[in-house]
């Protein structure tokens, strides 16, 4: 670690709590963000000389708060100040104790409120993710734009629009009750999962750039788990992200083409992440309050525990997907379950299961890829070719398209071989 790397790490770690507290004070996202940036600049000057404070977050809260109040005064803008405004002074231990008194009891709700504001239901998913990465994670607009493969100007505009919507929404700042806290927690978990999927769905040629989103989602999930250590669904969320991300090194070949789970080199899987993920899902299941993240993590755990593809417990995976269909019914869940069914009861049963999904998944790449695979297994090659052609038309990435082309090439070879044998 370089001489100043510890400062960057401390600022990143303290950011959610500090920005969350500053947002509660000033009730304005731009003011809170600017106050934190000013405090960070002071930290970069002060900490190398004086060493890190005992509580970096408390230090940043007080410095940022003072800077913002000074700015308000300079602008002669009338705004109510906290009752303890007289405590604004030099950065001594007393001030740090004041920050602790002010924020210790609010720590969890400040961060939850900050995360919730970023995933406010009035914001489209793309704006939720961009805002969370900017405000909570502290990524620069350039970094976020690069991850989303858009220009900096377009990303800046996206974040600005999101902030404007938040300002208009009048989000309440009171401490949420138990029911509202649970609702906010579910919304935040969903947003973190969206961030992860933005990175996980990257193709081979963009995986390196967008893979950082997976790591940031895991960091946010761990943060949420520290705030709610007894919540099994948050354990399940963290476990799911870790178990999926553990396969990253094996998901694409040297040319960037997608490698299916059953064909991956399992020695490339990250065993440290797998161990952490398995421990989390085992702990979550002991609470006996299963939810969709726990069930998905349990499925990922069965894959992780199988040393070879043929060791996979597909019957248990089928049962888990059946449970997921109950708690979170979705045609995509049923499609995923059909893959397990094909392993247990054969392609005919699996095909019969997904046929009713066709109207709802008419524009879904994976539906036609899976359907084509089942048809090919059954020797219905002409129908498989039609399904694969449709899948290529709907491919979201070059890696997806390349994977389907392999199936089409195989069908062409099989057709040519059959013609040669029959003399046609």
> 56-97, pLDDT tens digit by residue?
989 999 999 998 888 777 765 455 555 544 434 344 444 444
Q: How far apart are the C-alpha atoms of 364 and 362, rounded to whole Å?
A: 6
Sequence length of the chain is: 424
> 263-290, pLDDT tens digit by residue?
999 999 999 999 999 999 999 999 999 9
State residue 5's pLDDT score. 79
> 166-210, pLDDT tens digit by residue?
888 777 666 677 787 888 888 899 989 988 988 888 765 565 656
Phi, psi of 30 (to 5 degrees): -65, -40
More confident residue, 201 or 328: 328
| Domain residue ranges of the chain, discontinuous segments joined by + | 5-108, 363-424
> 397-424, pLDDT tens digit by residue?
888 888 899 889 888 887 666 555 655 5
Which of 399, 60, 5, 384 minimizes the C-alpha distance to 205? 399
State residue 423's pLDDT score. 56
Torsion region of 270: left, alpha or beta (phi above 0 gives left; psi -120 to 50 gives alpha): beta
Would the pLDDT of 376 be above 50? yes
**Least trusted range by pLDDT, from 33-37, 42-46, 209-213:** 209-213
- Render 395-412 in DSSP notation, one character per residue: -SSHHHHHHHHHHHHHHH
Maximal C-alpha separation, the chain: 96
Helix ranges (H only) for 286-330 are 292-305, 314-327
Q: What is the dihedral of CA 273, 205, 148, 113, to 10 degrees?
A: 0
Would the pLDDT of 43 be above 80? yes
For residue 254, the tally of other CB atoms under 10 A from its CB is: 6
**Mean pLDDT, residues 157-172:** 85
More confident residue, 227 or 306: 306
**Mean pLDDT, residues 103-127:** 79
Q: How far apart are the C-alpha atoms of 105 and 331, rounded to whole Å?
A: 43
The answer to whether 156 and 204 have CB atoms below 8 angstroms apart is no
Would the pLDDT of 105 be above 70? no
Q: How far apart are the C-alpha atoms of 345 and 45, rounded to whole Å?
A: 66
State residue 168's pLDDT score. 84
Q: How far apart are the C-alpha atoms of 92 and 120, rounded to whole Å?
A: 37
**Least trusted range by pLDDT, from 1-10, 37-46, 203-212:** 203-212
For residue 296, the tally of other CB atoms under 10 A from its CB is: 24
State residue 213's pLDDT score. 87
Say what percent of the chain tops pLDDT 70: 86
Q: How far apart are the C-alpha atoms of 67 and 36, rounded to whole Å?
A: 9
């Amino acid at each position: 670690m370089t001489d100043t790397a510890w400062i960057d790490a401390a600022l990143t770690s303290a950011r959610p709590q500090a920005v969350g507290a500053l947002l509660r004070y000033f009730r304005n996202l731009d003011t809170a963000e600017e106050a934190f940036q000013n405090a960070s600049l002071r930290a970069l000057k002060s900490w190398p000389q004086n060493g890190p404070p005992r509580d970096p977050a408390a230090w940043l809260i007080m410095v940022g708060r003072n800077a913002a109040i000074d700015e308000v005064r300079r602008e002669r803008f009338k705004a109510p100040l906290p009752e303890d405004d007289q405590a604004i002074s030099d950065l001594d231990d007393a001030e740090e104790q004041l920050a602790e008194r002010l924020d210790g009891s609010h720590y969890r709700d400040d961060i939850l409120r900050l995360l919730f504001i970023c995933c406010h239901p009035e914001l489209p998913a793309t704006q939720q993710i961009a805002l969370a990465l900017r405000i909570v994670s502290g990524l620069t607009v350039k970094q976020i734009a690069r991850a989303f493969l858009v220009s900096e100007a377009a990303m800046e505009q996206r974040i600005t629009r999101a902030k404007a919507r938040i300002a208009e929404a009048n989000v309440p700042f009171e401490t949420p009750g138990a029911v509202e806290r649970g609702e906010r927690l579910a919304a935040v978990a969903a947003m973190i999962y969206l961030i992860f999927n933005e990175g996980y769905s990257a193709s081979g040629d963009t995986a390196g750039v967008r893979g950082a989103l997976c790591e940031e989602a895991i960091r946010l999930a761990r943060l949420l788990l520290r705030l709610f250590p007894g919540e099994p669904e948050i354990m399940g969320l963290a476990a799911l992200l870790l178990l999926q991300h553990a396969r990253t090194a094996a998901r694409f070949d040297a040319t960037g083409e997608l490698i299916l789970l059953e064909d991956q080199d399992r020695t490339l899987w990250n065993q440290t992440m797998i161990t952490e993920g398995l421990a989390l899902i085992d702990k979550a299941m002991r609470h006996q309050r299963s939810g969709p993240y726990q069930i998905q993590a349990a499925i990922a755990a069965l894959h992780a525990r199988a040393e070879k593809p043929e060791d996979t417990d597909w019957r248990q995976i089928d049962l888990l997907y059946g449970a997921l269909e109950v708690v979170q019914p979705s045609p995509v869940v049923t499609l995923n379950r059909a893959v397990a069914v094909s392993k247990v009861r054969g392609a005919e049963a699996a095909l019969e299961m997904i046929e009713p999904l066709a109207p709802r998944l008419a524009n879904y790449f994976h539906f036609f890829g899976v359907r084509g695979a089942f048809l090919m297994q059954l020797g219905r090659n002409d129908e498989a070719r039609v399904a694969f052609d449709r899948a290529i038309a709907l491919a979201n990435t070059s890696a997806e398209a390349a994977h389907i082309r392999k199936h089409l090439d195989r069908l062409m070879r099989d057709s040519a071989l059959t013609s040669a044998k029959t003399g046609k």
